Structure 1
Amino acid sequence: MLKIENLQVHYDKVQVIHDVSLEVNEGEIVTLIGSNGAGKTTLLRTISGIKKATSGSISFMGEPVHRFPSHKIVDLGIGHVPEGRHVFSDMSVYENLQMGAFRRKGSQAEIKNDLEHIFDLFPRLKERSQQLAGTLSGGEQQMVAIGRAIMAKPKLYLFDEPSLGIAPLIVAEIFRMIKRMNEEGSTILLVEQNANAALKISDRAYILETGKVSLEGKSSDLLNDDRVRKIYLGF
């Protein structure tokens, strides 16, 4: 579904991504782990067209997209849940979710059904549907950000640090939801510092160090890799 080959990305004269190659197959959860500053967020921003690659290629469903503007990439079926959530704070939960469907061409009945599905995934959003998103807790805002992405009906989800700054109980709920989305057919590329949780729900993983892929493989294998356990899992 997604194939990245020899990608290089710069910020001015500083190279952040060095010849990264990876792929995500339909129906997988693939996780990308690494320390702060490893280039994980930059990689997702480049996939979604927010940041432009210096060289290399990104293809989605067989189509090269690395020169496309971000709105075109959304239309093709890539949904990005950014780090820091970025909800529309002065709009209600309901309005935020509706914004996710802004570029959709489906009927109002289909949009209504998808809203009900989100409320099924996140019952607390239904309870707070008329509340301003800016007044929600960090975990609840993350649910809104995920729900907004679902409303766009993407083929591939990019999750950037969904557990960042969120209480542990809510983190567990969000990871259960991501796993459920995958079981229902969603394909997911997950960037996450909580390596233990990410490896437990994903099929495959890449480790990014200073902008380079240093290790890749099945998530179950990396969970038992001594180097990964020492550096990223803390035991």
Structure 2
Amino acid sequence: MIRILLLTLSLLTFSAFAEQNSLRYNMSGSNNWVPYYMPDKATPGILGELIPLILVEAKIEGVQLNLPPKRTNQALLEGKLDFDTVCAEWFPNQEVGPEFVLSKPLFTVKEYFVGLKDADKTAHLNHDNIGTVLGYYYYDDSLFNRIDFKSERELVLALKKARVSRILIGDLTASYWGKRYDVNLDFQKLHTEGLLRLRLNKQKQHLLPKLNAAIDALTERGVIARIVSKYTRLYSSD
């Protein structure tokens, strides 16, 4: 009986240790966040390649889940997910929330107000209505009317169909979907530019030094730059 009790306690201790030293995450975004994440084993996207490499370098077990943005945000607050990737510039006053800590930077991301080159198609629309992705953060969305769509793909299609006059979308993502659906996009104004980072739940902040050391190591070896360059070449608007 004592041996069984000791074995049970050991298993519980190991399980608790494993839980504290593993990270649950979701990189899928809207599932249309090209080229940052793509459900393709051959070309999984910038974050699809990079996040597993960071976890391996840090010697941290990763558990990838697949949730839509709105559920992802709630799961992070409830501690059901341990981290996501954010740019502080997406948030009012660049405050990502008291429940989280930020990692060292990964790479730069840009987001634009985008319209159609042929603006006559949307001239009749209310220009205060801006197409946005449901569940995404926008620091200034109190200044305009959000018209939420499920994904970046739907944003570009809504613009093509003149359902909105402008959308808020990342430059590489817009270029990909614009080419895919033959939409002549006009990148009108930069909305945000900043450094993408891991946003880690404070319950797991003891792992932040390992994550930062892994990011430093991959940066110094040029791994992050090579991955970003690979997908930028594929999906740039140039």
- TM class by shorter-chain length? under 0.3
